[in-house]
């Protein structure tokens, strides 16, 4: 069950391009954690996705440990999840931020600093979005192994709007130091 701030999900709108069968839009979310039992934090987030209105977890990649970006801090554990959602992009973002908040995320802390949970809306269908508070595809998706490798695990033939096939982006991260940590 998600414990969210009262305004986080208020006024949720159905996405304009939701499928007629009610399945909605396929969205991909990047997950990362390096505080307070990161593997457990990621697994708890997968469960929390099931509580987001009009949203269903379709699948998720394995968990990968990788060195952090930014200041000295513990290694991160990362994954990617595929969601089908009837929420509009900003409403899905609010729901994801509510999940972060419920798991102890503190916003406004050090940029690229340690965190209990970081959820990034990587892709929202085939849409491109460029707003002050939301950019989709995620601005650095195409250069981050800890996103591309797990995304490839669950959606190997996906096209990244503005960048092309995911398969073509993998060469740029071939030397990445990711370690699978969940078997």
59 is annotated as an active-site residue: no
Between CA 5 and CA 26 the distance in angstroms is 25
Separate counts of helices (H) and strands (E) for the chain = 4, 10
Q: What is the DSSP string of 154-173?
A: H-TT-EETTTEEHHHHGGGG
Establish whether 157 is a catalytic residue: no
Catalytic residue among 65, 91, 118, 144: 118
Q: Is 32:77 a contact under the CB 8 Å cutoff?
A: yes
Q: Name the active-site residue from 43, 65, 105, 144.
A: 105
To the query of whether residue 182 is one of the catalytic residues in this protein, the response is no
Residue 75 is a catalytic residue:
no
Active-site residue among 115, 133, 144, 157? 115
Which residue among 43, 65, 91, 120 is the active-site one? 120
- Dihedral sign for Cα 76, 115, 69, 27, please: positive
Q: Is 133 helix (H, G, I), strand (E, B) or coil?
A: coil
- Return the closest-CA partner of residue 32 out of 166, 176, 165, 145: 145
Tell which residue, 166, 119, 122, has the closest CA to residue 8. Answer: 119
- Where in the sequence numbering do the catalytic residues fall? 105, 115, 118, 120
């Amino acid at each position: 069950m998600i414990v969210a701030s009262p305004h986080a999900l208020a006024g949720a709108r159905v996405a304009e391009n939701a499928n007629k069968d009610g399945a909605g839009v396929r969205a991909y979310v990047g997950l990362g954690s390096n505080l307070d039992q990161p593997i457990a934090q990621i697994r708890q987030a997968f469960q929390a996705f099931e509580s987001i209105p009009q949203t269903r977890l379709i699948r998720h990649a394995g968990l990968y440990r990788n060195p952090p970006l930014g200041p000295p801090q513990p290694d991160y554990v990362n994954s990617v999840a595929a969601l089908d959602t009837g929420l509009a992009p900003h409403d899905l973002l609010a729901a994801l931020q509510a999940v972060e908040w419920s798991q102890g995320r503190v916003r406004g802390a050090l940029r690229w600093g340690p965190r209990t949970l970081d959820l990034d809306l990587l892709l929202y269908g085939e849409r491109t979005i460029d707003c002050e508070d939301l950019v989709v595809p995620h601005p650095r998706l195409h250069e981050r192994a800890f996103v591309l490798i797990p995304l490839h695990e669950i959606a190997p033939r996906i096209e990244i709007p503005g960048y092309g096939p995911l398969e073509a982006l993998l060469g740029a991260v071939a030397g990445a130091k990711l370690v699978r940590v969940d078997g």
